[in-house]
Structure 1
Amino acid sequence: METMQLHRGRLIDHIHLVVRDLPASKRFYQAVLHALQLPMGGEGDDYFWADELFVSSAQSESAQGHLTGRHHLAFQAQDEAMVKAFHEAAIAHGGKDNGAHGPRNYHPGYYAAFALDPDGNNIEAVYHGPARRSAPSVQVDF
């Protein structure tokens, strides 16, 4: 597996989802990532990946025969239109509606949509709006 760019200093390095039906998951994730203008990174016989997301079958060496449980993943979107496109792509490619696109009361400007992927993972696209575009960097000393 090759990487496009190594990012240091992030809280999460990557997440691995182990799925029952790899082709169904691949169709779903290709569609939603395309709607979010994110490229697929690569694939093999029993896996595919995009940026920090790695998805494999239970038969892959890294999965060791076990499915992962239900997860919630939130992808960042550039604007509200991209959130809507994500939701439409998710539903059209095997996902189930889990919350139509619209504002949420999480913080001012939070606009999101939710869909369940073929394995029941709650996948979200969120645009934080102009009120939350950038937050100041904070250093914490331990």
Structure 2
Amino acid sequence: MIDHLGLQCTDPAAAAAFYERVLAPCGVREAMRIDTPHGPVIGLAGPAGEPQLWTSPLEGPGNRPVHLALAAPSRDAVDAVFAAVQEAGAEVLHEPREWPEYHPGYYGVFFRDLDGNNVEAVHHGFPAP
């Protein structure tokens, strides 16, 4: 169900280093780092090697939503989530599309829940030919 979780941090690099240190016995290590103008976005992975815990810069003062990504079984499911979000009148942050900067075949939609959290439905796969 949960694909990954993102935490906004005052110092994403320090937060990632903290998690890496205290969760080392669980096999947690840095797997990916994306430098942005606002600071690094760092993906931490467990023994399976896929980044599932992310630290990123704060969105803004007083605004610190959690990013929760849920695994979708297909691209059609991502599109269906998008339709349901629109029907519910929720704020769409990013319409469904491929996000090649994450990896080829990463297809997701991003929206805000009722409490302002950044929620994503994501499918990891390639489009049908």
Greater share of strand residues, 1 or 2?
A: 2
Q: TM-score, normalised by structure 2?
A: 0.46
Q: TM-score, normalised by structure 1?
A: 0.42
> Highest CA radius of gyration, 1 or 2?
1
